[in-house]
């Protein structure tokens, strides 16, 4: 069994409890046997906030809770890169921020919070072109900005993970591969998300093909799946009406069994790259959206989060990928006050 590739399971715990209270998120994770989570929206006692808006006191309180629950942050679920490339009115509510200011304020803040929460991984995006335009026309500008973000991350010893998502410059496997290859930074990795491809009126074949185009740059993966719906009208972009039909990884049309079967062979190489940064392993990050999704988050409920986890475990078992959940030995060790990894 020692030669079987292994992943670390993590997830966006804010999809569980309605309140998004930190204690409830961590309780959910502990009950499911997860020892890591990606932090996005959280209430540490002063209302629900995006992780980017946390005060130093709230970060300190979170770290205290992490120690008490024996749970760590796998990645910062930041919205970095979900802003407009151009200051034009395009019918969306996406904001525009001059990039120099964005780099000095938002990006610097994300790096600061990542350090404070003990993670090396910052999730981000590839910027919005004007709605209705050809995203490929904006790759040069996207590459320039992402390159600057990756350089800021390099100076601070953290990783910028670029997630594929609809309506952005990096909306499919081809565009993400081009951005990754042109930036050519050791601190830039790609994040594959199968449902984010399929929701664009794609097919299983197109989703799997996007994975293969991106796989040479992968650092970790988000796990959510989608059931294709021919009745949804494609309007050239993904709107909220299309952000439904999310299902567990073993019940959708994305091809997770095939994708994870190939990913199995790539785990050792990614593991070595992550080890160079002090990252403890290769993460698979649950972001199920089973009860709904949107531009900046999703909801599964505690029951849906558990259903999604069990679906992923079935796919991993089929693919021959090992994973670890909290076991009795760790509970025994916790009695002595020792927090395990």
Q: Using an 8 Å Cβ cutoff, are 191 and 161 in contact?
A: yes
| Token pair in block for residue 303 | 């029951």
- Structurally, how many domains does the chain consist of? 1
Read off the pTM: 0.94
Contacts of residue 220, Cβ cutoff 8 Å, sequence gap at least 6: 75, 121, 161, 189, 191, 270, 282, 283, 284, 285
DSSP, residue by residue, 268-287: HHHHHHHHTTT--S-EEEE-
Tell me the C-alpha to C-alpha distance, in Å, between residue 65 and each of 19, 193, 287.
Answer: 17, 29, 22
Segment 251-260, tens digit of pLDDT: 999 999 999 9
**Is 339 part of a structural domain of the chain?**
no
* Residue 201 confidence class, pLDDT cut points 50, 70, 90: confident
- 218 phi and psi, to 5 degrees? -65, 140
Q: Is residue 220 part of a domain?
A: yes
Q: Does residue 264 sit within a domain?
A: yes
CATH of the domain at 111: 3.20.20.150
Using only C-alpha atoms, what is the Rg of the chain? 19
**SS3 label, residue 182:** helix
> Tokens standing for 341?
């990894």
Task: Return the percentage of the chain with pLDDT > 90, whole number.
Answer: 83
Q: Give the CA angle between residues 119, 124, 130 to the nearest 5°.
A: 170
Assess if residue 189 is contained within a domain. yes
Segment 29-88, tens digit of pLDDT: 999 999 999 999 999 999 999 999 999 999 999 999 999 999 999 999 999 999 999 999
For residue 112, is it within any domain?
Answer: yes
pLDDT per position as a tens digit, 289-326: 887 665 556 778 899 999 999 999 999 999 999 999 98
Which tokens belong to 163?
Answer: 């997630």
The residue range of the domain holding 66 is 8-332
Instruction: Give the pairing type, strands 36-39 and 72-76.
Output: parallel
Residue 2 lies in a domain: no
In a domain, 276, yes or no: yes
């Amino acid at each position: 069994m020692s030669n079987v590739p292994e992943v670390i399971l993590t997830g966006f715990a804010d999809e569980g409890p309605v309140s998004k209270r930190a204690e409830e998120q961590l309780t959910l994770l502990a009950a499911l046997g997860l020892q890591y989570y990606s932090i996005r929206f959280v209430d540490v006692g002063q209302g629900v906030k995006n992780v980017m808006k946390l005060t130093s006191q709230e970060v300190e309180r979170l770290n205290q809770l992490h120690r008490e629950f024996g749970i760590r942050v796998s990645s910062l679920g930041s919205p970095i890169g979900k802003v407009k490339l151009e200051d034009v009115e395009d019918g969306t509510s996406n904001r525009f921020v001059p990039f120099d200011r964005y780099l000095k304020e938002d990006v610097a803040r994300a790096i600061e919070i990542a350090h404070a929460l003990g993670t090396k991984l910052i999730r981000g995006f590839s910027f919005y072109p004007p709605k209705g335009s050809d995203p490929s026309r904006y790759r040069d500008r996207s590459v320039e900005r992402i390159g600057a973000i990756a350089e800021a991350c390099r100076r601070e010893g953290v990783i910028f993970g670029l997630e594929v998502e609809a309506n952005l410059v990096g909306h499919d496997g081809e565009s993400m591969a081009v951005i990754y290859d042109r930036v050519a930074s050791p601190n830039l990795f790609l994040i594959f998300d199968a449902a984010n491809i399929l929701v664009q009126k794609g097919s299983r074949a197109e989703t799997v093909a996007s994975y293969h185009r991106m796989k040479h740059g992968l650092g970790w993966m988000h796990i959510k799946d989608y059931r294709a719906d021919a009745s949804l009208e494609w309007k050239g972009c993904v709107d909220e009406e299309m952000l439904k039909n999310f299902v567990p990884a073993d019940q959708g049309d994305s091809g997770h069994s095939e994708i994870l079967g190939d990913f199995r062979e790539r785990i050792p190489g990614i593991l070595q790259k992550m080890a160079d940064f002090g990252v403890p392993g290769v993460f698979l990050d649950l972001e199920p959206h089973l009860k709904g999704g949107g531009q900046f988050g999703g909801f599964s409920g505690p029951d849906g989060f558990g259903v999604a986890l069990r679906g992923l475990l079935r796919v991993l078992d089929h693919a021959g990928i090992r994973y670890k959940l909290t076991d009795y030995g760790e509970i025994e060790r916790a009695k002595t006050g020792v927090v395990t990894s």
